[in-house]
């Protein structure tokens, strides 16, 4: 399968959604606004691309279990695969948000006639990043757009969007693939061994998109056992990840490219860090008792490490910024700095959330094991013995309490409670201090 395939039949998942979209095109029932809901790596974006391709395709074909599918080889399909179709636009956040100037630019394009295709298509990825003013501005466009315009909004859940936008949208739900489905894709489509598939699925924390990226490169090795090493290695890998991204940024040749690159740490996983985090969380979850000073020491080190890492990443843009100052007006430079600040400044928060998610997945697996669930439901299937140990030692009631604690911690983090307090409290509670 080509990475940028534009055919529904090449999508690895989401058969139901594909069939639904395909038959609405075949039946000529095209809504003006679609909302594709589901987690980031459930295949929303490839499906949006396939849908756009089918709408624009010069000679659609009928498939085995699809009413219609894009041909994948006409000029229009090839342009969509390369992201260069003049009538298919992607709108992605500029910094952390999709901003009002981006929506205004969309509005100017939406009143034009399609230049080559039949439809003018706008994909907003993700639409949950519209802010209040850009969402209101979008709503006006949805109300007034000519009938040849199709909007495809991608979002995690419907709750993140204005009710008035929701009521105008046809909602297409995308289920998250189960760990077993992810492992099957890796084995059957990517030729991985069952062990390698289990490792990639586990490191991706159950995200198909990330698991596929890991499948191309990762050769995880087990690090030394025990919390003493695992926490040090995790901190080392956080620094290494920051250096890795600094090297990526340093290779940028223009401001535009640099801005695109600055969003990558949020979307692409750096495999050694995933492994370091996985091992640290596993050791923490399996540790019966911690030295009393560990939670506060570790929380402090983690915060310092993350702040440094984010600062160093921002610093790596300094030469490019100095260069750009010669060529662009101050207002442009200021905007550029603002975007960098919001992206790279958000990196520590992202790392905290990932840490909480990783811990949560260990406990969720243990709870499944404690409840006697089928082992194919486990995310960290390759560490089945560890999961059974955690389940036996902690028991159902304690596991539930810990999952609740972690879910609450995610909520606190999103409400901007100081991460150092959250981490310290969390480790104190789950680590079990030495008497
Ligand atoms: Zn085609």
In this predicted model, what pLDDT tens digit does every residue of 316-375 receive, in sequence order? 988 888 888 888 899 888 888 888 888 888 899 999 999 999 999 999 999 999 999 999
The verdict on 106 and 244 lying in the same domain is: no
> What is the model's pLDDT at position 432?
67
The verdict on 211 and 232 lying in the same domain is: no
In this predicted model, what pLDDT tens digit does every residue of 39-65 receive, in sequence order? 877 889 999 999 999 999 999 998 778
27 CA distance to ligand 1 centroid (A)? Answer: 18
92 CA distance to ligand 1 centroid (A)? Answer: 25
In this predicted model, what pLDDT tens digit does every residue of 14-33 receive, in sequence order? 888 999 999 999 999 999 99
The verdict on 255 and 387 lying in the same domain is: yes
Cα separation, 126 vs 107, whole angstroms: 18
The verdict on 199 and 293 lying in the same domain is: no
416 backbone φψ class: left, alpha, beta (φ>0; ψ -120 to 50): left
The verdict on 181 and 157 lying in the same domain is: no
32 CA distance to ligand 1 centroid (A)? Answer: 21
Does residue 174 contact residue 157 with C-beta atoms inside 8 Å?
no
> What is the model's pLDDT at position 14?
83
The DSSP line for 92-129 is --BTTBB-HHHHHHHHHHHTSPPSSSS-EEEEETTGGG
71 CA distance to ligand 1 centroid (A)? Answer: 4
7 CA distance to ligand 1 centroid (A)? Answer: 9
The verdict on 96 and 239 lying in the same domain is: no
Does residue 139 contact residue 151 with C-beta atoms inside 8 Å?
no
Tally of structural domains, the chain: 3
> What is the model's pLDDT at position 3?
47
74 CA distance to ligand 1 centroid (A)? Answer: 4
User: Whole domain around residue 291: which residue ranges?
Assistant: 226-431
- What is the bridge-based pairing of β-strands 170-173 and 149-155? unpaired
87 CA distance to ligand 1 centroid (A)? Answer: 14
94 CA distance to ligand 1 centroid (A)? Answer: 31
The verdict on 128 and 109 lying in the same domain is: yes
pTM of the shown model:
0.82
213 CA distance to ligand 1 centroid (A)? Answer: 27
pLDDT above 90 as % of the chain = 62
70 CA distance to ligand 1 centroid (A)? Answer: 5
Q: What is the residue-averaged pLDDT of the chain?
A: 90
23 CA distance to ligand 1 centroid (A)? Answer: 17
Does residue 47 contact residue 34 with C-beta atoms inside 8 Å?
no
352 CA distance to ligand 1 centroid (A)? Answer: 43
Tell whether the model's pLDDT for residue 239 goes beyond 90: yes
């Amino acid at each position: 399968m080509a990475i940028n395939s534009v055919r529904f039949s090449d999508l690895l998942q989401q058969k139901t959604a594909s069939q639904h979209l395909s038959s609405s095109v075949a039946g000529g029932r095209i809504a003006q606004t679609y909302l594709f809901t589901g987690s980031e790596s459930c295949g929303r974006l490839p499906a949006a691309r396939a849908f756009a391709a089918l709408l624009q395709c010069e000679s659609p074909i009928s498939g085995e279990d699809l009413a219609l599918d894009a041909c994948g080889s006409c000029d229009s399909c090839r342009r969509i695969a390369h992201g260069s179709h003049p009538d298919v636009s992607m709108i992605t956040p500029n910094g952390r948000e999709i901003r009002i100037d981006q929506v205004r630019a969309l509005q100017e394009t939406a009143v034009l006639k399609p230049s080559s295709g039949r439809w003018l298509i706008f994909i907003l990825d993700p639409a949950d990043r519209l802010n209040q003013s850009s969402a209101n501005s979008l709503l006006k466009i949805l109300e007034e757009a000519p009938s040849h315009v199709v909007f495809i909004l991608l979002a995690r859940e419907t709750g993140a969007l204005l009710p008035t936008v929701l009521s105008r949208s046809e909602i297409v739900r995308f289920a998250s693939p189960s760990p077993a489905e992810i492992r099957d894709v890796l084995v059957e489509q990517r030729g991985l061994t069952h062990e390698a598939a289990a490792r990639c699925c586990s490191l991706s924390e159950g995200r198909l998109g990330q698991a596929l990226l890991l499948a191309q490169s990762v050769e995880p090795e087990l690090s030394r056992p025990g919390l003493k090493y695992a926490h040090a290695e995790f901190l080392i890998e956080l620094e290494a990840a920051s250096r890795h991204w600094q090297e990526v940024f340093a290779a940028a040749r223009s401001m535009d490219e640099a801005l695109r690159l600055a969003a990558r740490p949020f979307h692409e996983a750096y495999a050694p860090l995933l492994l370091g985090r996985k091992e640290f969380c596993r050791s923490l979850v399996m540790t019966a008792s911690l030295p009393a000073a560990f939670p506060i020491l570790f929380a402090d080190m983690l915060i310092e490490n993350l702040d440094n890492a984010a600062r160093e990443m921002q610093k790596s843009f300094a030469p490019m910024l100095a260069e750009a100052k010669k060529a662009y007006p101050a207002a442009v430079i200021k905007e550029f700095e603002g975007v960098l600040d919001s992206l790279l400044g958000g990196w520590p928060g992202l790392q905290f959330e990932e840490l909480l998610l990783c811990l949560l997945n260990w406990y969720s697996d243990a709870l499944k094991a404690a409840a006697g669930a089928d082992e194919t439901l486990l995310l960290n299937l390759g560490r089945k013995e560890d999961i059974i140990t955690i389940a036996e030692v902690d028991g159902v009631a304690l596991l539930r309490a810990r999952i609740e604690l972690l879910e609450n911690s995610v909520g606190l983090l999103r409400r901007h409670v100081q991460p150092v307090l959250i981490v310290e409290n969390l480790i104190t509670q789950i680590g079990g201090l030495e008497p």
